[in-house]
Chain A
């Protein structure tokens, strides 16, 4: 059963049709969760004891940060699958994830900066997690730039795939190095990074927003994959039927 499913997943036609049917449902769930999460986060949960209302930014910052990391791993795995087994759909997935992941990373840094300013009185700080997130942004941008640079799209897929795999292996090393570097310089700043105290309504808001934002990114990515399929599968009969009906 599982091999059959894997084989079907690698067919652009199957992917296109299934995603077409799933998207309306996914959007509905996403919007519902977003609405509930925003209500819970902005209205129905208390301000933090120490950080005040700025803690509400956490409901954006943590989900986007988690999404940025999750999608990089997923992108690298898809690129690896495409490279090793030469499955076109896998390359399409990787290429579609990249810009969305990059935007999530940017938002994580941006919301983090705006959370840091009222809380720790600084727009930017070179702590381990922020620095690692910045490097993640560079890795995403590098992937996108490299893929763009090739005229032959399939060669570009494979080149970017090699880069993604190398990046994936390097991420633990980079994170560890940055963390190590940061512990050297922490000193006076260590008292500033206490986590906010979590109240159950805050937890609900946080978990809802995490799922909502990951689902949102997923919907966007699925639309991008569909566009990519259309772009690459021109000569196929099934696509003609899909488009012209």
Chain B
């Protein structure tokens, strides 16, 4: 019951600040668009760099969106109240992360086919891109929540957050981009997807505890 209420509240909160959700999305599109301009408009080369470019842009866009996870609740004390309840803290954090993913990760996934077309990604790579992002972006939200929990009380936390979280994102990046590259070369990519799935389930079970610990430290 509480999960439904909390989820409803989170989604409402995100909806009320829609502008904050759109910005990372726009960033995603602009960042990807810069590469054809900076490197070459030739389809062949673009196709080669597309998986990496789209995945890196997705990573950076996710990091921009992490602010919405804890910041407002931290500053008006809601976070503290939520954690003071004797119920399961795991549930609180998971619901917040799910709401965050639904409002920032999922839009990235939905927009990615357009970017794939822009970068001349063909055929099978489409599905590889979609599925790898679908599996990978929740992991990004999860791991990002730990970094966000640690830095939410700090003033200039934006760049510090990237420094903390990006090294931890690298495995997701490696397997995600590799899935798309393999698909583009016509090879099997289910192995990479399996790894991403493993990361997803491992993070789902373990990361919220670290996230709660991180928030507890910041609330001190």
Contacts and interface: CB of A to CB of B under 8 A. Distances in A.
A contacts B directly in the complex (CB < 8 Å)? yes
B30 interface: no
A103 interface: no
A138 B163 CA distance: 7
Q: What's the interface size class on B, roughly?
A: 20 to 34
A166 B146 contact: yes
Given A159-B214, A166-B146, A170-B168, A152 B178 contact: no
Nearest to A148: B160
Interface residues of A, number: 30
A170 B210 CA distance: 12
B146 to A, nearest CB: 6
B160 A163 contact: no
B178 A184 contact: yes
B150 interface: yes
Interface stretch (A8-16, A70-78, A89-97, A171-179): A171-179
Given A146-B150, A146-B151, A177-B174, A162 B210 contact: yes
A163 B178 CA distance: 27
A139 interface: yes
Nearest to A131: B170
Contacts, number: 73
Contacts of B210: 162, 165-166
Interface in A139-167: 139, 141-142, 145-146, 149-150, 152, 154-155, 158-159, 162-163, 165-167
A150 B167 contact: no
A154 B218 CA distance: 11
Query: Which secondary structure dominates where chain A touches chain B?
Result: helix
Contacts of A150: 153-154
A86 B71 CA distance: 27
25 contacts: A135-B170, A138-B163, A142-B163, A145-B160, A146-B150, A146-B160, A149-B151, A149-B156, A154-B220, A155-B217, A158-B217, A158-B220, A159-B217, A162-B146, A162-B210, A167-B168, A169-B206, A173-B199, A174-B168, A174-B171, A176-B171, A177-B171, A177-B174, A178-B174, A180-B175
Given A145-B160, A155-B220, 16 more contacts: A138-B163, A138-B167, A145-B163, A145-B164, A146-B164, A149-B151, A150-B154, A155-B217, A162-B217, A165-B210, A173-B199, A178-B170, A178-B174, A181-B174, A181-B178, A184-B178
* A-B pairs, 8 with minimum CB distance: A177-B171, A138-B167, A158-B217, A142-B164, A181-B174, A177-B174, A159-B217, A159-B150
Interface of A: 83, 135, 138-139, 141-142, 145-146, 149-150, 152, 154-155, 158-159, 162-163, 165-167, 169-170, 173-174, 176-178, 180-181, 184
